[in-house]
A and B are shown apart, each in its own frame.
Chain A
C-alpha cells in the first residue's frame, strides 16, 4: 500500500486492556475526503479505535500514521465531537466556538484576537442557524442545538480529519435526521475527511462514502463457525454512494442493512478471517502465514 497517499494509515493495530484484547488486527487506510462510518456491536471497540486515532491512547502493537508521520497526542489536526459533554459549560455559545481560535495563542494575545475570532464564530453560527443563541450558555440549549455548536466548535480549527463518536445518539429521530443532513452539507462546504462512529446502521449507510464494520464475531479456525475470535477486526468494508434521504425508503437499502447486520452483529454467523467482504479499493488486510495458507487451500 502507498502510505503517503493516505491521510490516515493504521497497520496491524492491536489494543489490549490488561488481559482483554479489544482490537485484534486493525488494518485501515483512509484517503482524504472520505466519509468513513464505523459500526459494530456493543463492546466491539469502535470507541477504542477512535481514541487510538485521536491519540488519547496508544496501541499495544502496530503503527498509526497521519500523512506519513507518527501520531502525536491529541492536537488541532484531529477534531472530535463527542456524544455527551460536548461543550464547555462556563462559556457562552459564541465563546465556545471562538475558543478554537483563541486557545492556540498565549493568553495575553487572546485579547486582541477576540474581535476577529468572534466574527468568524458568528459566521459558523449562521451556517448552523443558531445566531440568535450566541450569548446563551450551553445548559440553556436543547441537545440538538448543543451538538450543532459542538460541530461548529470542532470545525473552526479546520482539522484534517473530523472524528465523531456517536454524536447523534442522544437525539430524537427528527433532530437526528436534520443533523445528518447538516453534517453532509458541512462536509461538502469544507471538504472534510470524517470518521464517524455510530450504532445506527441506517445512519451509517446513509451518511458514509465508506462503511466499516468492526466486530468480534469472526473465527480464525480452519473451519468457519468454530469459535469466537479474540479481539475485534474490520469484518466488512464497503464503498457507498447514497445521495438523498429518499434512499432510506428503498428495498435495496433495507436489504443492505440486513446484510451488514448478518455479517457483523450476528454472534451465530462467524465468518472466517479470509472471507471478509473487504470491497473498498482502499481496504487491505495483513494475514498471518496460517491464515494465508488456508486462503490458498480454498482457492480452487
Chain B
C-alpha cells in the first residue's frame, strides 16, 4: 500500500469538521493542562504560592471582585472597573471613527483636501502615541479626557488612512454616473460613497480595537482611580496573580465579544460587502 504523503499538516491537507474542532480546542487544552500541572507543583511545595493561583483561588477572586461589595466604597469593583474602562474606550473609538471617517472620505474624494491634509496625517500617524502620553496628560488633564485622547491619537490616523484608501479606490466612473443621475457634489459624497464605505469603517474599527485596548490599559496604569487596567497594575504590587489572571481573561472575553459582534453585524446588515482588502 502506498504511503499517504498527505499528513494533517501537508500541502494538500483537508481536515474533516471533527478534526478541525479537535484541533481548535487542542492548544487551549494543552495550555490549561500545563498551567494546572505547574500550579499544582508549586502549591505542593508552598501552599501559599501567589504566582500560579489554582482554579479555586481564581474563583474566590472572581467572587470577591464581582459579587461582593467593596468594604470601603460599597461598590462591586469588577463591574465598576469594567464600566469605567468601557466608557473610555467607547468614547475614544467613537471619536476616532467619526472624525476619521469624515476626514478619510473627503481626502479620498477631493484632491484639494488631500493635498492639504495627507502629509500631515501621515506625520501624526508616525508619532508613537505612548511617547506623547505625558503631553496629552498635561494638555487634557489626567482625568477621562486625557485617556480618551490617547485612545484617539492611537486609532484616528489608522482609520483616516484606511478610509482614505478605500474611497480613493472607488472608480471615477461611479462618481460620474452619480452626477449623471442628478447627485449634487455633497450628494455624491454622502449619499453614494458614504454608504458604500461604512462597512469598511466598521471593519477597520474592529481591527483597531486591539490598539485601543492597549492605549486604554496604558493610560489607566499611569493615572487613574478606576478601570480594568488600573486594577491590574494596582494589585501587581501585591503579586495578586489571581486577580490579574481573572481581569486579563475578562478583558480578553470582552474584546472577543466586541470583535465577534462587529463581524456578525457587518455580515448581517451589509450582505453585499466584500472585504477583498
Contact = CB atoms under 8 A, between A and B. Distances in A.
Nearest to B183: A103
A143 interface: no
B272 A76 contact: no
B187 to A, nearest CB: 6
Nearest to A83: B173
A54 interface: yes
A139 B272 contact: yes
A137 B173 contact: no
A99 B181 contact: yes
A236 to B, nearest CB: 28
Contacts of A139: 272, 274
A138 to B, nearest CB: 8
Contacts of B38: none
Contact of A73 (B179, B181, B187): B179
Given A56-B172, A88-B196, A103-B187, A74 B180 contact: yes
Contact of B192 (A78, A88, A159): A88
A76 B182 contact: yes
Contact of A153 (B173, B181, B273): B181
Contacts, number: 63
A82 interface: yes
Interface of A: 54, 56, 73-76, 78-80, 82, 84-85, 88-90, 99-100, 103-104, 107, 137-139, 153-154, 157, 159
25 contacts: A74-B180, A75-B182, A76-B180, A76-B182, A78-B180, A80-B177, A80-B180, A84-B173, A85-B173, A88-B174, A89-B272, A90-B195, A90-B196, A90-B270, A100-B181, A103-B182, A103-B183, A103-B187, A107-B187, A153-B181, A154-B180, A154-B181, A157-B180, A157-B181, A159-B180
- CB-CB nearest 3 A-B residue pairs: A104-B182, A74-B179, A103-B182
